A and B are shown apart, each in its own frame.
Chain A
Amino acid sequence: MRGTTPAGAFAFALRRLRRGWRSGELLIVLLALAIAVAATGSVRLFTERVRQAIAEQSGDTLGADLVYRSRDALPATLRERAAALGLRTLDVTQFSSVVFAGEASSLASIKAVGDGYPLRGELRLAPEPFAPAQVAHGAPPPGSAWVDARLWQDLQLVPGATLQAGRLTLRVAASVDNEPDRGNGFADLAPRLIVNAADLPASGLLTVGSRAQYSLYVAGARTALAQLQAEPLPRGVRMVTPQDARPELRNAIERAGQFLDIAVLAATLLACAAVALAARQYGDKLRDEIALLKCLGARRAFLTQALLLQLLLLGLAAGLAGAALAYLAQEVLARVLAGLMQLALPPAPLWPLAGATALGLLLLLGFAAPPLLAARNTPPLRVFQRSDDGGASSRAVTLVALATAAALLWFATGDVVLAGWVLAGSAATLAALSLAAWLLVRALTPLRRAAGGRGFAWRFGLGNIARRRAATIAQVTALGLALLALLLVSVVREDLLASWQKKLPPDTPNQFLINIQTEQLAPLKDFFAAHGYADITLWPMARGRLVALNGQEVTAESFPDPETQRWINRDFNLSWSDTLNPDNRITEGAWWGAAGHGQPWLSADKYAIERLNLKLGDTLTLDFAGEQQTFTVKNFRTVDWDSFKPNFFLLAPDGAVADTVPRQYLTSFYLPAARRALLRELITQFPNVTVLDVDALMSQVRGIIDRIVRAVEFIFLFTLAAGLAVLLAAIEGTRAERVRETALLRTLGARTGLIARGLLAEYAVLGALAGGVAAIAAQTLAWVLAAQVFHIPYGPRPLLWLVGMASGALIVAVLGWLSLRTTLRTPPRRVLV
């Protein structure tokens, strides 16, 4: 029979789609899918652009988009290659030297820069330390220098003072208020002197064998940068990207990525819910037709081909429409937001659209194909009698949906842990929602046969929930999943992002004092107490050099990794305490507490563990200015480096370091801008104490966090809109049934008000139930995300379930009303047609 060949199946699929489209049957499936692809696609597109922009923006903290560093002069080929690619370059040389001002002298980190400095970020200069600063560009004029606040203090400078560095005589032109590429490591603590690179040859400061760091700063178009980055590095040259620049920035960018992934996940979940619901409805509608086709001789293979072809055509149409919509939506979003976000977004790449369309097709196969293919099981007998022949393969449908959801989540995030948590949470939520719906059906069953009279409309509506048991459970589950995504948006936005922002509260320490001597502890505490800082904490610190690991002598050459070699070459900063700072977390072993007092033990941070490949029980021998001490590693820690509090790679118990070992103390505190005069007073009273002002750095980090939060919020706003649309699509799916029911009820004498109240009651209760369960699920999920993924504190909002119920009732009732109010006008004569 020719009609049942693949060509016949294709012709049938096309005709069926055309008819289905005209009668509106497939419109919901198509819309749901297109919305899903559009939501996911636009979020991914926009996310990708924001991600790229943020990565680009953080070049601010490097002073460039890319930096090449070497201990020797950089090969000219690198500079030429960058220039050939149309990139801007700048040579920066950095070394240490003693600088004199009259009788005073200080070791300074000298940085020689040329015109165009910095390539990225903002250099701010002030006439003198702590005076109002202004943005500046370029290098100091030859013969002059810019000096940071510390060197200014050390050398007791005044504006226009003269400095001597090597053979150079330099006039002090300004004080450096913010140096974008300063870095915040305690390793680079020497005060800064910026000079013009043109003065360098005559200074005599750099000779063969001098220890200097040569850098080539590069900035320009991303594609050219990528090309340059892909080329092999010359020997001895190291490449630093913005992501390598600072750990706290890297954390911020990584966290932004995680938050944005949540937005993508929310969109994906919404898509799954919408397509699953719509496809199920479409599958149910197909049953009569399939029974008839079987009666007329259609074979199973023909039906399979016809259904799959329908799906494929539908998927392609929806994918294309969704991708186009996604592109437009993200473009509108970008245009509206780019200025507000102060981010110059790069052009939208097209690959996320291909990804979104593929995701759409996968979603179609996982969520739409199973219920549609299940319709093939409809017995031909159905043409005579509509027996309850559905749901035979519902377990298979669920399993396929679950597997697809897992694949989609992994595909959407690329993060197995995050996807796993969200999937587990979603599965638990689905189970909780189904259970809650089942309990509701049971609770409302008495209303099915309640007597008439007053309140009939409400009882009728609520009774309907119990009457449509299977539909109620499916609808509550779908509504709950959609509300979960919406609530998760709210929870992540309100709670998680706020928690993150709170990590840098306005009173985060912005001043560090180092080089405090033991005899200064008491007078310094008194000084602070007199100025209203009663609880200042002072951390002890000793500088030691690693000489042996597990009894084996080590030098820098014992380690192949250049970063470890550099670390070994410097002194280690070791502190000691019996109490663990709240921004430290033990990952292995146990904290010693008071029991560790005086024990030769060590607690190592992740950085030290990775560099030295440490295991618990390893021993480290440190040389403190000629005095050696051996410590055993007792536990591992991770340190929250963006807390802006003093922290150490290595910690020992109190009393473990011999009293004879030279030590100094450091502290950090918050100084409001209005009280900056306190610093002068402090320096006058304690001239040897060095003040490290990290205010500018903190504002920069805070600015980046704020920007990311805003970006995530905007993306979530879009996910929210997509969620509402999907919710609407879910409600729309019941339209045909409502129309029929309304016509009959009106024929039997029901007034519009009664039907409307019944509808509102039904949707409000469904929404409240779904919202309540979704709120609890969203909070649980947020708590897991906070603890397992973001590692930030999370205090649950106990009343969120109430908010969830109220907003669920309101959203679902309003959307139900907006969507279905036209069905209330169905003329009763429809029952006669």
Chain B
Amino acid sequence: MVKQVSSGGQPLTILDGVELTIAAGESLAIVGSSGSGKTTLLSLLAGLDLPTRGEIELAGTSLTGLDEDARAQLRAGRVGFVFQSFQLLAGFTALENVMLPAELAGLDDPQARARAALDRVGLAARLDHYPQQLSGGEQQRVALARAFCGEPQILFADEPTGNLDTATGARVIELLFELNRAQGTTLVLVTHDLQLAARCARRVTLAGGRLQT
């Protein structure tokens, strides 16, 4: 697939001829330097954006021809996310933030699921705290609980330790892989941290918008 954007009136190719298949249950790390197109590739794989040319299948469904809403519906209940900047809703408590994907997917008893998920990340005592009342590590653990609460088939993680110190980052990563193992989730991890990438079963490197093999 190819992804081009217009920059200053000129077409700029961000991804060029990328071909990638990720098997169910596999853990894959996408590594590369800043500006190599890692995050763009992640957003295309998750159906957050569409390629300029080429085709993407998510959980066995082609994204070609699907509008924004149809792609959202496909994600609901199947896909989880962990972001570098946590992306928690400020007005929502930890519990409410975690409930959100299960509610959007129409799963039974989202509250019980959210409580269990927060318990698993060690935040059972922080249910009613708002994001601004939590430390960075705690916020990312809430984000992890949210990602796994809907029991997704695929988890996309974008630099999950990018905003955390080494020790906290390490604890969050332990938790991420533990939950991933426990739920048998397919993991797609974007990072520039080679040590972190080494923990994934497979690694691909992006350079200048192309996959290096």
Contact = CB atoms under 8 A, between A and B. Distances in A.
A737 B91 CA distance: 10
B103 A456 contact: yes
A751 B132 contact: no
Given A748-B101, A748-B104, A388 B132 contact: yes
Contacts of A754: 104
Interface stretch (B16-24, B92-100, B168-176): B92-100
B42 A750 contact: no
A753 interface: yes
A750 B39 contact: no
A827 interface: yes
A23 interface: no
A471 B92 CA distance: 13
A754 B107 CA distance: 16
Contacts of B49: 827-829
A748 B76 contact: yes
B155 to A, nearest CB: 13
Given A746-B68, A827-B49, A829-B43, A448 B83 contact: no
A750 B104 contact: yes
Nearest to B92: A467
B75 interface: yes
Contact of A387 (B132, B136, B158): B132
A752 B104 contact: no
A749 B91 contact: no
B48 A751 contact: no
Contacts of B110: 451-452
B79 interface: yes
Interface in B60-113: 68-69, 72-79, 81, 83, 87, 89-93, 95-96, 99-111
A749 B105 contact: yes
Nearest to B79: A749
A751 B69 contact: yes
Interface in A484-516: none
B132 A752 contact: no
A225 interface: no
B48 A745 contact: no
A585 interface: no
B6 interface: no
Q: Which of A751, A752, A825, A832 is packed against the most chain B CB atoms within 10 Å? A: A832
Contact of A449 (B91, B99, B108): B99
B7 interface: no
A752 B68 contact: yes
A753 B68 CA distance: 11
A285 interface: no
A650 B16 CA distance: 101
A452 B102 contact: yes
Interface residues of B, number: 45
Interface string B21-37: 00000000000000000
Contact of B133 (A387, A741, A829, A831): A387
A467 B93 CA distance: 8
A387 B136 CA distance: 12
Contacts of B92: 467
Interface in B119-137: 130, 132-133, 135-136
Contacts of A608: none
Contacts of A829: 43, 48-49
Give the residue among A388, A456, A463, A828 with the most B Cβ atoms within 10 A: A828
A475 B105 CA distance: 30
Nearest to A470: B91
A667 B76 CA distance: 84
A744 interface: yes
A741 B133 CA distance: 19
B75 A747 contact: yes
B39 A832 contact: yes
Interface in A385-424: 385-388
A467 B130 CA distance: 10
A317 to B, nearest CB: 31
Nearest to A751: B69
A741 B100 CA distance: 12
Interface string A366-391: 00000000000000000001111000
A807 B174 CA distance: 55
B190 to A, nearest CB: 9
A449 B93 CA distance: 10
Nearest to B90: A737
Contacts of B90: 737
A467 B95 CA distance: 12
A636 B92 CA distance: 65
Nearest to B76: A749
A468 interface: yes
Nearest to B74: A749
A449 B133 CA distance: 20
A747 B39 CA distance: 14
A440 to B, nearest CB: 15
B83 A832 contact: yes
A387 B158 CA distance: 25
A144 interface: no
A453 interface: yes
Nearest to A466: B91
B83 A748 contact: no
B192 to A, nearest CB: 15
Contacts of A827: 48-49, 68
Contact of A832 (B72, B74, B91, B158): B158
B89 A452 contact: no
A749 B48 contact: no
A436 B94 CA distance: 27
* Central interface residue in A449, A453, A463, A754, by most chain B CB within 10 Å: A449
Interface string A284-300: 00000000000000000
Given A467-B91, A829-B43, A745 B104 contact: yes
Nearest to A468: B91
A635 interface: no
A460 B69 contact: no
A463 B99 CA distance: 13
Nearest to B46: A747
A388 B96 contact: no
A750 B72 contact: yes
Nearest to B114: A449
B100 A449 contact: no
A89 interface: no
Given A388-B133, A750-B76, A752-B69, A448 B96 contact: yes
Nearest to B107: A452
Contacts of A751: 69, 72-73
B107 A464 contact: no
B135 A385 contact: yes
A468 B96 CA distance: 12
A832 B68 contact: no
Contact of A746 (B72, B95, B102, B108): B72
Interface string A85-117: 000000000000000000000000000000000
Contacts of A741: 89
A827 B108 CA distance: 28
A751 B72 CA distance: 6
Interface in A793-833: 825, 827-829, 831-832
Contacts of B48: 747, 827-829, 831-832
Interface string A728-739: 000000000100
Contacts of A748: 75-76, 81, 100-101, 104
Contacts of A745: 100, 104
26 contacts: A386-B132, A387-B133, A448-B93, A449-B95, A449-B96, A456-B106, A463-B96, A464-B91, A467-B91, A744-B89, A747-B46, A748-B81, A749-B76, A749-B104, A750-B104, A751-B72, A751-B73, A753-B69, A827-B48, A828-B43, A828-B68, A829-B48, A829-B49, A831-B83, A832-B48, A832-B158
Interface of B: 39, 42-43, 46, 48-49, 68-69, 72-79, 81, 83, 87, 89-93, 95-96, 99-111, 130, 132-133, 135-136, 158
| 4 residue pairs, one from A and one from B, having the closest CB atoms | A749-B76, A452-B103, A749-B75, A467-B91
